[in-house]
Amino acid sequence: MSLRLPRSRALALTAATALAWGLALTASTDGGDAATRNYVQVSAREFYFGLSKTKVKPGSTTFELVNFGEDDHDLAVRRKGSSAVKQMDIVHPGESARMSTKLRRGTYVLWCTLADHRERGMRASLKVRR
Ligand SMILES: [Cu+2]
């Protein structure tokens, strides 16, 4: 059995994380583009992916998958036109996990790789541009 975090606890953690990233962004605004750090929260439910933002600037990006559903989910990310897939481990209900990767200009597709979740709606796209 996996340990289930109460929903409110998961939300509080996520808010704290978002705040920390917000502060990091604020602190590095004078650093120029090299300091670009994106944070995208992906809310997972059956069967839906909700993104905290659908457009980011090129650079290091942290995805945080928060599983608000009742099934296991995961997150895979691929740039359109590329075959390279970045994927995280399974996230159990009530839990969250992060994955960082560097994004370049283009359109990225996000999806859940489990069973037929992608076909059922667990997919989204993210635009990366200046
Ligand atoms: Cu899924």
Instruction: Tell me the pLDDT tens digit for each residue of 25-35.
Output: 444 443 345 56
Write the pLDDT tens digit of every residue in 44-64.
Answer: 999 999 999 999 999 999 999
Total count of domains within the chain = 1
- Report if residue 40 sits inside a domain: yes
pLDDT at 2 over 80: no
Which residues, in sequence order, are CB contacts of 42 under 8 Å at separation 6+? 49, 50, 51, 52, 63, 64, 65, 66, 75, 110, 124
- Report if residue 1 sits inside a domain: no
Distance 67 CA to ligand 1 centre (A): 9
Instruction: Check which CATH number belongs to the domain holding 69 and give it.
Output: 2.60.40.420
Distance 1 CA to ligand 1 centre (A): 19
- Report if residue 110 sits inside a domain: yes
Mean predicted confidence (pLDDT) in 120-129: 98
pTM over cut 0.85: no
Mean predicted confidence (pLDDT) in 81-104: 97
Distance 74 CA to ligand 1 centre (A): 6
Least-confidence region, from 11-15, 77-81, 89-93, 107-111 = 11-15
* Residue range(s) defining the domain that contains residue 92: 7-28+36-128
Distance 114 CA to ligand 1 centre (A): 5
Distance 130 CA to ligand 1 centre (A): 31
Which residues, in sequence order, are CB contacts of 129 under 8 Å at separation 6+? 55, 57, 58, 105
pLDDT over 70 for what percent of the chain? Answer: 72
- Report if residue 86 sits inside a domain: yes
Residue type present at position 67? N
Distance 35 CA to ligand 1 centre (A): 32
